[in-house]
A and B are shown apart, each in its own frame.
Chain A
Amino acid sequence: EPEVTQTPSHQVTQMGQEVILRCVPISNHLYFYWYRQILGQKVEFLVSFYNNEISEKSEIFDDQFSVERPDGSNFTLKIRSTKLEDSAMYFCASRLPGQGHEQFFGPGTRLTVL
């Protein structure tokens, strides 16, 4: 069964450093998302991506964040200058086009900012 994959599973970084979180969505999916979950809190939407551009972003997704689909398979989230409060689990998700299709989530990357 196809699945969304994410690397790395855990990333530790120093405050102010740049990090890139990588995702490989399911191959025939066209809509891509990033969510985050701060420890003990609910899952929050960050950004959606379709047709090689951001389609929607939350207020969390400020200028420090960017997303890219550099080739036909990878989907990346970059944080330019990490802050302590960026420490969270980051989930990538993808879905088929059309109404009502569920999103499939990757296993997540745990980001720890020291």
Chain B
Amino acid sequence: AQSVAQPEDQVNVAEGNPLTVKCTYSVSGNPYLFWYVQYPNRGLQFLLKYITGDNLVKGSYGFEAEFNKSQTSFHLKKPSALVSDSALYFCAVRDETGFQKLVFGTGTRLLVSP
């Protein structure tokens, strides 16, 4: 079965510094990977996805993610963090069977300090 792991419960970074939120995946076929962000008391907002093609995927709000097949990773990155990036970030993989439900990781809380 498909799964994703987010090894860090929380990531702390100072404003202006680069940030990385880690995600590793496990699939039997080709991975379809997604990042979502959740602000307090809000729904999940789509950030970016990897389907095929370039390993570096660019998304909303200046975020990007690097797909690495050999390491089965899909880390979320941003060159310069903002305080407003503080939120809960979820990595997800599309289920290969059925109707493409998403399987989510446990989430990583990003805290950007001024």
Shortest beta-carbon distance, B87 to chain A, in Å? 14
Instruction: Report the Cα distance A36→B91, complex, angstroms.
Output: 16
Q: How many residue pairs at the A-B interface have CB separations less than 8 Å?
A: 61
Judging by beta carbons under 8 Å apart, are B99 and A55 in contact? yes
A105 touches B43 (CB 8 A): yes
How far does the Cβ of A75 sit from chain B's closest Cβ, in whole Å?
14
Contact B99 A42 (CB under 8 A): no
Contacts A102-B49, A105-B44; A42 near B107 (Cβ below 8 A)? yes
With an 8 A cutoff between CB atoms, is A106 at the interface?
Answer: yes
Q: Mark A90-101, 1 if CB is under 8 A from B, else 0.
A: 010101000110
Residue of A nearest to B6 (CB): A42
- Contact residues on B (Cβ < 8 Å of other chain), bracket: 20 to 34
Which of A43-51, A63-71, A79-87 faces chain B?
Answer: A43-51
Alpha-carbon distance between A35 and B103 when the two chains are bound, in angstroms: 10
Q: List 23 A-B contacts (CB under 8 A).
A: A4-B43, A6-B43, A33-B101, A35-B102, A41-B106, A42-B90, A42-B104, A43-B44, A43-B104, A44-B104, A48-B101, A56-B98, A91-B43, A95-B100, A99-B32, A99-B100, A100-B32, A100-B52, A102-B34, A103-B46, A105-B43, A107-B43, A108-B43
Query: 4 shortest A-B CB distances, which residue pairs?
Result: A100-B51, A56-B98, A105-B44, A107-B43
Question: Besides A43-B44, A43-B104, 15 other CB < 8 A contacts?
Answer: A31-B99, A42-B105, A43-B90, A45-B101, A45-B103, A48-B99, A48-B100, A48-B101, A93-B44, A99-B51, A100-B51, A103-B46, A106-B43, A107-B42, A107-B43
Q: Which residues of A contact B (CB under 8 A)?
A: 4, 6, 31, 33, 35, 41-45, 48, 50, 55-56, 91, 93, 95, 99-100, 102-108
